[in-house]
Amino acid sequence: MIFFNEKGGIYGKLMILEGIMIIVPLVMIPFNMTDVPYIFDFLVPGLGSVILGLLICIVVKNREYTRNNLKYISAKVVFFAWLYGFFIGSLPFILSGRLTMIQALFESVSGFTTTGLSVIDVTVTPAVFLFYRSFIQFMGGLGFILMMIIFIQGKQSMDLYNAEGHPDKLMPNLGKTARTIFAMYSGFLVLGTIAYAAFGMSLFDSINHAMCALSTGGFSTKADSIGAFHSPQIEGVTIILMLIGTTNFAVLLLLVKGKIRQFFKVSEVRFMFLLLFIFVPVMSAGLFFKMYLGLGESIRLSLFNVV
């Protein structure tokens, strides 16, 4: 498919994709029927975005662009994708009356950009909204353009992919690269969820924390975040998922393929471990001598916070 000379075009497709993303958290409703009253808070903006996107694809006809201005057009598309995502992502919070417009935009931006700052009181927030926050962080970690390329490709896809800031070129074919990244990201999500559950988290908490740790975002279902579980094992799982989430996918592919030696030869990996080697002992010493914590606890807290 070609985005820039077919009917509709990429703007409509992005609106469809982002509308579907707003609807996805409703999969939680059958597991928590007390959240049924919030269905339309997600359906209305989600279906509205899908319908509007379809109309644009049917009605709008894009002109074909030259190679000289494709980079400029790609930058505009990426800007639209994120700006529209912030807006549509805020609507469930607004329609439910849980947040004001400014608070909802703040939460949406924080989620999609994986910043992790929040204005929500998680102790009184329905489960579907907690899952929604985690899900938008997970999707933000991947990026809208990458998600779109998984399903729809064209000859301008590489320009869009680069414009969103993706350095990862895992396969000769961009579509295969996007699908490989998604498969790896999803695989780590499943493994992280299983690991959390094995160490005592509920399945709901496990899924949410795995999504947020992989995106290095930090949203949580608990007011005290990971600290609420008082588990070194859970902290360990979080550390591993955060390291995975912050590492280049091309590097992670080496690890997935079992190329351990090549993995540790990558300068990015070596520099990361160098930083850990320097700062974890420094912080551990501070906690041990200044806060009078035990040596084991000092190292554990230092490792978690430095990562």
Residue positions counted in the chain: 307
pLDDT of residue 141: 81
d(CA 235, CA 228): 11
pLDDT of residue 6: 42
Q: Which helix (H) or strand (E) holds 213?
A: helix 203-214
d(CA 38, CA 35): 6
Structure-token pair, residue 88: 């549509």
* Domain membership of residue 198 as a residue range: 177-259
Which stretch of 132-136, 172-176, 263-267 has the lowest confidence by average pLDDT?
Answer: 172-176
Question: Residue 96 domain-assigned?
Answer: yes
- Both 60 and 161 in a single domain? yes
Phi and psi for 294 in degrees, rounded to 5?
A: -65, 160
pLDDT of residue 4: 38
Contact 225, 218 (CB under 8 A): yes
Question: Residue 17 domain-assigned?
Answer: yes
The structural domain count of the chain equals: 3
- Both 253 and 285 in a single domain? no
Question: Residue 156 domain-assigned?
Answer: yes
Q: Give pTM, 2 decimals.
A: 0.84
Question: Residue 199 domain-assigned?
Answer: yes
Question: Residue 284 domain-assigned?
Answer: yes
- Both 150 and 211 in a single domain? no
Question: Residue 1 domain-assigned?
Answer: no
pLDDT, one tens digit per residue, over 210-248 is 999 999 888 999 999 998 998 999 999 999 999 998 888
- Both 253 and 211 in a single domain? yes
Contact 269, 241 (CB under 8 A): no
- Both 243 and 146 in a single domain? no
pLDDT, one tens digit per residue, over 24-58 is 999 999 999 999 999 999 999 999 999 999 998 88
Question: Residue 111 domain-assigned?
Answer: yes
- Both 140 and 24 in a single domain? yes
Last residue of a domain, one of 259, 275, 291: 259
pLDDT, one tens digit per residue, over 103-117 is 999 999 999 998 889
- Both 20 and 153 in a single domain? yes
Residue 71 has pLDDT above 60, yes or no: no
Contact 241, 214 (CB under 8 A): yes
Structure-token pair, residue 162: 């680069």
- Both 217 and 249 in a single domain? yes
- Both 207 and 157 in a single domain? no
Question: Residue 3 domain-assigned?
Answer: no
- Both 27 and 159 in a single domain? yes
